[in-house]
Homo-oligomer: A and B are copies of this chain.
Amino acid sequence: MAQVETDDSKMNRTADQDIGEAVDDAVLRRFLGHHLRRASNFVQSDLARSLKDVDLRMITMSVLTVIVEHRGLRQSQLADALQIERPNLVSILDELEDRKLVERTRVPTDRRAYALTPTAAGEALAAKASQAVRAHEDRVFARLSASERSSLQDLLMKVYPGAEG
């Protein structure tokens, strides 16, 4: 595959580069992981932009969404579900609480813990965010047919552990 080169051919290419040849990352593109990363970065960038309309970041959207879906859950459960470290959750919840989207209330049966519940505004914003994400997905996966999207999801779920498949 890789062709053996003499020192001469190498030096010629060096000279060519000086003149201003096109440079690409073709070697890296041989790797499937490269395309996976590129696609993921592209989609995430677009999602981040979309969520700005509802003044949420990806992580705050995820946190708010899970709280809406599992009202009353604790911070440790939330951290487990989203695979984020407990300390990093604190400022996220502070922000959502300051914005009156989420409430922390003491659990009577375990006074160490907080139960997390969305406010009405929080539920409304989660719904708006969900809509924004759906619009974003339609846009960003527009070049894939419904069956291609389904195949892509199946293939991706075969790659990482934890996704049943």
Contact = CB atoms under 8 A, between A and B. Distances in A.
A143 B158 contact: yes
A124 interface: no
A155 to B, nearest CB: 5
A32 interface: yes
- Interface secondary structure of A, over-half rule: helix
B23 A141 contact: no
When all copies of this chain in the complex are counted, the total is 2
Contacts of A148: 155, 158
Given A14-B117, A144-B155, A148-B155, A23 B160 contact: no
A100 to B, nearest CB: 18
Contacts of A70: 13, 17, 21, 23
